[in-house]
Structure 1
C-alpha cells in the first residue's frame, strides 16, 4: 500500500513533527518521508481530506463482538470494520462469546478470523474455565497462543483464594489478570445506581459499595501476591481514591473507565431507555468529576468504549429484563472531545497499549504506518446513520458529539469510512 497524505496535522508527542502540518509519504506500509511538501513523483494514491489530523493508532482495551456463537449481535469481521471506521487500529477482544474463549484453540480461532484486517485483534482469555468462576483456566497455554490478559467479562471472581492463586500463577509469565469490580452479594439484583433516581424510578439499586468493596479486596490480594492486576471500567469516586493509594504503594495495578461513565448521570434513566442499562451503572455527577480528575492525574490509565453489541430482542424489552451493554466504538472519539482537548483525547485513546504489551508506532520516518485519521473540529448529532455495528444499542444516540473520524492506515491497509 502506497499513499501520499497531504496537509495533515500530526498529533504525536513522540514525533519530531508534533503539532506540525506536513505531507506524509507511506510506501509498502512504512513511513518513508515527512516534509512540508512532497511531490507525488510515483503517481501514488493521494489522500487530501478536510482539516486532516493524524495520530498514532488508537487502542480499545474492552471490546465485545459476539462471534463465535452470537453472530446476530456482531461478527469479528464487521466488528473490525467498525473499529477501523471509528479510528481504532487495535482492539482487545473480550471472551464473552458462546462458547467462551478459554483455551489455546479458542484464542487461535479468533486470531485466525481476524487475519488480513487493518485492525489488529488482541484476544483476552477467560480467567476461569467456562467463565464459571470455579476453576482457573489454562492461562499459560492461552498466553502462548496470543492472549494478552485473562478476564471473565463482567463476572466478578467471588472466591478470593482463586483470585490470589491466579495473581501468583500469572506472575510467572508476566500475565495480566483482569478483575471485574463488583461484589455480587452486595449488588444483588440492582439494575442501576443506588441513589435518589433509583428510589424515584422504583428500580433496584446497585450501590457504589459493591464496586469499592471488591476493589479493596483485590488490592489487598495484589499487595500480598505481588502480581499484575488491571481493574476495568471503574465508576465511583471512592474507586479512584483506592487505586490512587495503591499506586502510591507502587502496586502493579492499572484501571480503565468506560467513556459513557464520564458523560451521563443516573438521571438519564428517567426515560427507562435500556441503552442506558450498562454495567457498571452510570452514577452521579460527583463520581464523574472524580473520574475525570483521575484521568487527568494519571490514576486512571486509559479509557474504553466497553463496546458491547446486544441484539434488539434483548434490549427492546422492559428495563429490568434487558441485557447490560452499549455499543461505543463509533462514538468514542466524538464523546471524549466534548470533555477534553484533542491532545488529551488522543493520549487517553493510545496510552493503554503499553499496559497490554502492544507495540507502539510513533509517526517517524522508518516506522510502520499505524495511524488514526480524523477531523477534530466537526460537530454533529450521533444517530443510526453513524452506526456500522450490526446491533444498534447506542447510549450516545441523539447526543451532539465533536470530531469526525475518517478511518485508519494500519497493517499496510488504508480504510476510509
Structure 2
C-alpha cells in the first residue's frame, strides 16, 4: 500500500510508504538512542524526503503529511544483524532475497549482513554484485559476506579483494571451520592489504566429530552424540594465536561457551583486533530443550548449559562480546521436520530477536546490542538528530507475548522460540526514503 495523504497508521497492516513522495510525522515517540541528544525523551519527529528536519516536544501537522500514531511508540537507530541467511540463489524454497528483506524490515532491522551459503556459494565478485543489485531498491540495506575460500571448501582462498570492491563487507565460510591453520594465516595477512575483515567459525571438526548436541549430561541421557565445549575453545585458541602472529582483523561469530568468552577477553587485553558475536538463542536456551527431540533446537554451535549462558551475559555486560545476532537460518520443512539425526542445523531468528533480548536486558542495553557491530563491518551508524538521514526502527518494548506460528513472517518456520515468552514488538522501519510497517 502506498499512501500520499494525511493519515493515522493502524497497527497490524502491511504498509510500504515511499517517503520521497511525502512527509512523515512520528507522533509521541520515545527516543532510545544513547548517541542522541534526545535520548529518553518523548518527542515528535518530522521526516522530509528521508531527512529528519525537526524534533520537538510537539510539532503541528502540515499539509500532505502522513502521521504515525502507534501505541507505546519508541524509536531507535536502525538495527543491524551481522549473520543472516536467506536462500536465493539456489534455495528459494527456504527464502528469497526480497521476501527475506521484508521480514527483516518488519522485524526492525534496517541493515543485515548476508551469509554466503547459497547455491552457488557467494565466492566471486559477480555473485556479490547479484546480491547488491537484487536488493538495491529495498528499504533494508543488504551487505554481502563473501566466502573466505572457493566454494567454501576450505582449500583455496576466494577472490577476496575483488569481492570487497564489489561490496562484500567481510569474508567467512558460513558454519564451516577452516581446518588448515596456514590458510587462515594467509587470509589474515592478505586481507590487511585492503583492511578486510576475516571470519572464522569456532569449531574444531576433529574434536566435534559426528556430534550434534552439547556433550554433557543431556547428550548422555538422550543418547545423542555430543560436541564438547573443547571443540570450540581449541579453535578459538588457535585462531587467536594466528591473529597475534599475523595482525589484521578477525571476527569470531556465534561463540557459545564460558571459556571462549575468557579467551577473547584475554586477547583483547593484549590489543588484538578480535571481535565476536553471540546468538539470541544461546543467550536464552539451554540443552535442556533437547528432551523434546525437536529439530528446531538443532543448531551450530549447539545449545550449551546455564553456566555458559551466565558467562555470555557477563561477556556482554563487560564488553567482551561485541554484538548479538539472530543467526537467522531458514530451513525448509523437508530438511527440518525429520528425525533429529537427519535434520539440518539452524533456526530462524529475525522475528524473535528483539523479544528475546528485551526479555533479558533493560531497554537501553537491548537497543545497544541491536545496533552494535556496524562500525566493525564498515557500516555507517546514524544518530537520531535534526539533519540526520532517517534510518530508524519503530517498536514497543512493553507488549508480552507467547511466540507462535502467526508471529513468523519467514517462508520457513523453523524457530527455536515457538511457545516461548517474549517481550516487545517491532512495528517496522524507516530507511532509504521508505517506511515498512507490519
Instruction: State how far apart, in whole Å, the 2-side matches of 1:228 and 1:388 are.
Output: 35
* Structural mapping, 1:2-401, within 5 Å: 2-401=23-422
The CA deviation at 1:351 is 1.2
Please name the residue that 2:7 is paired with.
Answer: none
Cα separation, 1, equivalents of 2:283 and 2:167? 31
Within 1, Cα distance between the matches of 2:405 and 2:193? 46
Q: Displacement of 1:324 after TM fit?
A: 0.3
Could you tell me how far apart the structure 2 residues matched to 1:41 and 1:114 are?
33
Query: Any idea what SS the aligned residue of 1:355 has?
Result: coil
Q: Distance in 2 between matches of 1:13 and 1:392?
A: 34
Partners of 1:13 and 1:335 in 2: CA distance: 21
Question: Residues of 2 paired with 1:385 and 1:342: CA distance?
Answer: 25
Deviation at 1:253?
0.2
Instruction: Give RMSD over aligned pairs.
Output: 0.5
Query: Normalising by structure 2, what TM-score?
Result: 0.95
1:88-133 CA-to-partner distances (Å, cap 9, x unmatched) read 0000000000000000000000111111111000000000001000
Q: Deviations over 1:25-54 (max 9, x none)?
A: 000000000001111122300001001000
- Shift in Å at residue 13 of structure 1? 1.2
Tell me the distance in 1 between the aligned counterparts of 2:329 and 2:52. Answer: 34
Equivalents in 2 of 1:377, 1:43: separation in Å?
32
Cα deviation digits, residues 216-240 of structure 1 (max 9, x gap): 0000000000110000000000000
SS in 2 for 1:338: helix
2:11 corresponding residue in structure 1: none
SS of the residue aligned with 1:124?
A: strand
Uncovered stretches (5+) of structure 1, i.e. residues with no partner? none
Q: Residues of 2 paired with 1:384 and 1:122: CA distance?
A: 28
Compute the TM-score of the two structures, normalised by the length of structure 1.
Answer: 1.00
- Structure-2 separation of matches of 1:281 and 1:71: 26
State the alpha-carbon separation in 2 of the partners of residues 82 and 316 from structure 1: 22
Q: 1: CA distance between counterparts of 2:211 and 2:94?
A: 25
Cα shift readout 1:130-169 (whole Å, capped 9, x = no counterpart)? 1000000000000000000001000000000000000000
Q: Once the two structures are superposed, what CA deviation does each residue of 1:304-354 show, in whole Å capped at 9, x if it has no partner?
A: 000000000000111011000000000000011111011100000101111
Displacement of 1:368 in angstroms is: 0.4
Give the secondary-structure state (helix, strand or coil) at the position aligned to 2:146: coil
Aligned length: 417
